[in-house]
């Protein structure tokens, strides 16, 4: 089955802060190499060590708004006075060329992405909404406290936000409980491998019809 | 994630005669133990070595038609004067109890099964239509001839039937090309593992909300 006959998979991967998304993504990369991890745009200033095009594309407010007005964003949001968004360019041409893409975005971003792709059947079929959940709220709190980098206020804010995001789980196609990061990554890999067999992502029959 | 919170998966597994379904199912059993392989009913006479309840449930024509009239069959068909069918009992209570079931049925049976479950949202969500295809028609012919048990007429009939069935591939959710039986079984196992993470098959949130 050659890649050009198939549309890729666009995984929207959400989950509350502290649930372990980046560890799961790291394992996913070793289980299924070749994924493109979408890079978001932001208007916030780079922090020490952050590289433009790696952590984020760092845009001025003016450039962000110009590109937003031109319809270049798949989804975007304003958070604490800064803009964050995903360029269509990060996802659409890649997926249509058969590449698999992961987007690490929140529940609201997932909703906006689904809406943005609703009118494009190929891309809508490629979209898999996957929610990574903690085994329990108590365990999420333990993981957040384990970071030892956050104030009590920040922890409480993250927990409240997590509780709110978790009520949206039924809007997702899949939920993975992150008991153990490698097991969770294997489930995510199975979701992607299964999607590669979906007829909806095949432009023609997958056998040799010559 | 305890099983009773989840609805099982009902895999309708179709593919032309000679494509290698039984070998793939044998590998699936070792990759994912615990599957129930649905046993069909038939009105044809048992062949030497066939055991009632293992290869088929052997029913008299009268019993078959009585149970059909009572709505006990999920799907059935008459082939060369004999009836064949799948009892709802083989699938519905098991899947609702969280068990995974495989049905080896043809394209027409797959269509009838989907129609029969269309009015039952839980079971409709559990249904995965998977088509196993040969790498090419030439390879299918090679496999059929390799059996050395069939007449030229039977081979030609099977090939014509295969070509017809294969045109229906877009009615399926998934297509797996059986280049190599173990690889095909791994793809089928991924489809099932992915389905176990589908929100539509979860009766409640999969984390500990206590």
Annotate chain A with DSSP letters as a single string: --GGGB---EEEEE--TTS-HHHHHHHHHHHSTT-EEPPEEE-SPPPTT--BTTTEEE--HHHHHHHHHTT-EEEEEEETTEEEEEEHHHHHHHHHTT--EEEE--HHHHHHHHHHHTT-HHHHHHEEEEEEE-SBHHHHHHHHHHT--S-HHHHHHHHHHHHHHHTTGGGSSEEEE-SSHHHHHHHHHHHHHHHTTBGGGBSS-SSB--
| Contact at CB, B190 and A187, closer than 8 angstroms | no
- Average pLDDT, whole number, for chain A? 95
Q: Are A106 and A12 in contact (CB under 8 A)?
A: no
Residue A197 confidence (pLDDT): 98
B11 domain residue, yes or no: yes
Chain A neighbors of B13, CB-CB under 8 A:
none
Least confident of A137-141, A148-152, A198-202, B140-144: A148-152
Instruction: Quote the ipTM score.
Output: 0.94
Residue A210 confidence (pLDDT): 74
Phi and psi of A146, rounded to 5°?
-65, -25
B88 domain residue, yes or no: no
Interface A-B, measured as beta-carbon pairs within 8 A, has a size of: 93
A84 domain residue, yes or no: no
Bridge partners of A82? Answer: A79
B94 domain residue, yes or no: no
- Strands A82-87 and A73-79 come out as antiparallel
A79 domain residue, yes or no: no
The CATH number for B184's domain is 3.40.50.300
Report DSSP letters for A109-162, one per residue.
HHHHHHHHHTT-HHHHHHEEEEEEE-SBHHHHHHHHHHT--S-HHHHHHHHHHH
A158 domain residue, yes or no: yes
A residues 130..189 contacting B (CB < 8 A)? 130, 133-137, 166, 169-170, 172-177, 186-187, 189
Chain B neighbors of A166, CB-CB under 8 A:
205, 207
Task: Please compute the mean of the pLDDT values over residues A93-100 and round it to a whole number.
Answer: 97
A137 domain residue, yes or no: yes
pTM of the predicted model as reported, rounded to 2 decimal places: 0.95
- Report residue A1's pLDDT band, with 50, 70 and 90 as the boundaries: very low
Full residue range of the structural domain in which residue A195 is found? 3-38+98-201
Task: Please compute the mean of the pLDDT values over residues B169-180 and round it to a whole number.
Answer: 98
Q: Are B197 and A195 in contact (CB under 8 A)?
A: no
- Strands B36-37 and B101-103 come out as parallel
pLDDT digits (tens, 9 = 90+) for A71-87: 999 999 999 899 999 99
Count of domains in chain B?
A: 1
Chain B neighbors of A190, CB-CB under 8 A:
189-190, 193-194, 197
B67 domain residue, yes or no: no
């Amino acid at each position: 089955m050659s890649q050009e006959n198939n549309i890729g998979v666009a995984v929207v991967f959400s989950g509350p802060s502290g649930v372990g998304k980046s560890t799961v993504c790291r394992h996913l990369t070793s289980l299924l190499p070749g994924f493109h991890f979408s890079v978001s745009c932001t208007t916030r200033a780079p922090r020490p060590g952050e590289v433009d095009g790696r952590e984020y594309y760092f845009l001025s407010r003016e450039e962000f708004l110009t590109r937003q007005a031109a319809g270049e964003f798949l989804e975007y949001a304003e958070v604490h006075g800064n803009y964050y968004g995903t360029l269509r360019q990060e996802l659409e041409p890649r997926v249509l060329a058969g590449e698999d893409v992961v987007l690490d975005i929140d529940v609201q971003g997932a909703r906006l992405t689904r809406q943005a792709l609703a009118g494009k059947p190929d891309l809508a079929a490629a979209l898999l909404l996957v929610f990574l959940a903690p085994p329990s709220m108590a365990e999420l709190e333990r993981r957040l406290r384990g970071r030892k980098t956050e104030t009590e206020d920040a922890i409480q804010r993250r927990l409240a936000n997590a509780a709110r995001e978790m009520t949206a789980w039924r809007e997702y196609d899949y939920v993975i409980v992150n008991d153990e990061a490698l097991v969770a990554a294997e489930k995510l890999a199975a979701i992607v491998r299964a999607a590669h067999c979906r007829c909806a992502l095949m432009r023609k029959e997958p056998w040799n019809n010559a």
